[in-house]
Amino acid sequence: MKRVLITGACSGMGLSATKLFLKKKWSVLMVDINESQGNQLQKEFACDGGQVWFKKCNLTSDADVAALYQYAKKELGGIDSVVNNAGVFVPGTLHETSIEDWDKIFNVDVKSILLTSKYFIPDMIAQKQGTIVNTASVSGLQGDYNMAAYNAAKGAVVNLCRSMALDYGQYNIRVNNVCPSACATPMFLANPQEKINQFNEANPLKRICTPEEVAQAIYFLASDHSASCNGVNLPVSGGIEIYSGQPIQI
175 binds ligand NAD (CB under 6 A): no
* Distance from the Cα of residue 48 to its chain's centroid: 25
How many whole angstroms separate alpha carbon 32 and alpha carbon 14?
Answer: 9
Binding span for ligand NAD by CB under 6 A among 28-36, 68-76, 90-98, 217-225: 28-36
How many whole angstroms separate alpha carbon 185 and alpha carbon 13?
Answer: 7
Binding span for ligand NAD by CB under 6 A among 18-26, 56-64, 114-122, 166-174: 56-64
Catalytic status, residue 69: no
61 to 120, contacts with ligand NAD by CB under 6 A? 85-89, 108-109
Binding span for ligand NAD by CB under 6 A among 12-20, 71-79, 91-99, 221-229: 12-20
111 neighbors 64 (Cβ within 8 angstroms):
no
10 binds ligand NAD (CB under 6 A): yes
Q: Which of 69, 119, 145, 150 is catalytic?
A: 150
Helix, strand, coil proportions of the chain in percent (round to 5)?
A: 50, 15, 30
Select from 18, 185, 223, 226 the one that contacts ligand NAD (CB under 6 A): 185
How many whole angstroms separate alpha carbon 109 and alpha carbon 224?
Answer: 26
32 binds ligand NAD (CB under 6 A): yes
DSSP state of 246: P
42 binds ligand NAD (CB under 6 A): no
How many whole angstroms separate alpha carbon 57 and alpha carbon 46?
Answer: 20
Beta bridge partners of 22: none
Positions marked catalytic: 150
Contact residues: ligand NAD, CB under 6 A:
8, 10-14, 32-34, 57-60, 85-89, 108-109, 135, 137, 180, 182-183, 185-188
